[in-house]
Amino acid sequence: MDKRLNKPANLRDLGGIPVRGGKTVKMRKLLRSGELCGMTEEEKSILQNDYCLAEVLDFRSAKEFVERPDASFPGVPNTNIDLMANAEELVVSFDNFEAHAGKTAARGFMLEAYDLVTGDDLATQGIRQFFAKTLEDRDGALLFHCFAGKDRTGMTAAFLLRILGADMEDIFDDYLKTNEQRKAENAAMIELERAQGKSEGELAVLGEFLVVRREYLQYAFDNIDKLYGGFDRYIGNAIGLTDADIGRLRELYLA
């Protein structure tokens, strides 16, 4: 991505990822990132004009959406799709770090969040809404994000890439890029908490909350297999995508 863009954190284009049949995901059609807060006017201009931003989907909670509003872009709609409305205590955010600062089982917390997104009715409804948006034809890029752009965003990106025909290793590679792309942002957050008096043990827990691990995404796919009998059944029965919808997605986003 453009080195002039410090914000939003964890921004990347899914374009260029190879899929079956020798095709690749189109460039500047699908962008993923962390929250669009604190952007400069120059950064906003680059994102809208150079990256052809056309629409934003925000997976954060209603509280996050209101308290830390995204930057606005002229003529660019922004829709809030709360993927964790039934368990906001599992959202990886400043508030929930404070609530779980003494928790040592960070791994269990993260797996619980992935369990919710793949099994909860409201989360399924939100993912259904996400795919309805991806089926819309638009000039420019659709950007989807959450707070850190790693879990809610990571799972939806992985599901979309799998539908488009990406190899599982490429899906995991994209998911794990978060750890490199958020390195500076995570370090700054940890230093802020250290300055506010958090112990090294508490900071270690925060550090675990701020990264992704291959086992988390694998857990999501395994949970889908367990709950629905396979990814194809999840997409067809729970999300409601037809073969025609899948063909349309490939037509829109593959070259």
- Give the domain ranges of the chain: 12-253
**CA nearest to 147, candidates 41, 69, 48:** 69
Phi/psi for 69 (5° steps) reads: -65, 145
Per-run averaged pLDDT (10 residues), the chain, 255 residues: 82 97 97 96 94 96 89 96 73 53 66 90 95 97 96 97 98 98 92 89 84 96 98 98 98 98
Q: Give the C-alpha distances (Å, rounded to integers) separating 52 from 31, 75, 129, 173, 219.
A: 10, 12, 22, 25, 34
Q: Using DSSP, state whether 173 is helix, strand or coil.
A: helix
Q: 3-state secondary structure string, 20-83?
A: HHHCEECCCCEEEECCCCCCCHHHHHHHHHHCCEEEEEECCCHHHHHHCCCCCCCCCCEEECCC
Residues 6+ apart with CB under 8 A from 202: 101, 102, 193
The dihedral over CA atoms of 190, 115, 252, 250, expressed in degrees to the nearest 10, equals 130
Reported pTM? 0.92
How close are the terminal C-alpha atoms of the chain, in Å? 20
The pLDDT score that the predictor gives to residue 199 is 85
Give the fold, CATH level 3, of 12-253. Answer: Protein-Tyrosine Phosphatase; Chain A (3.90.190)
Q: Which residues pair with 79 in a beta bridge?
A: 57
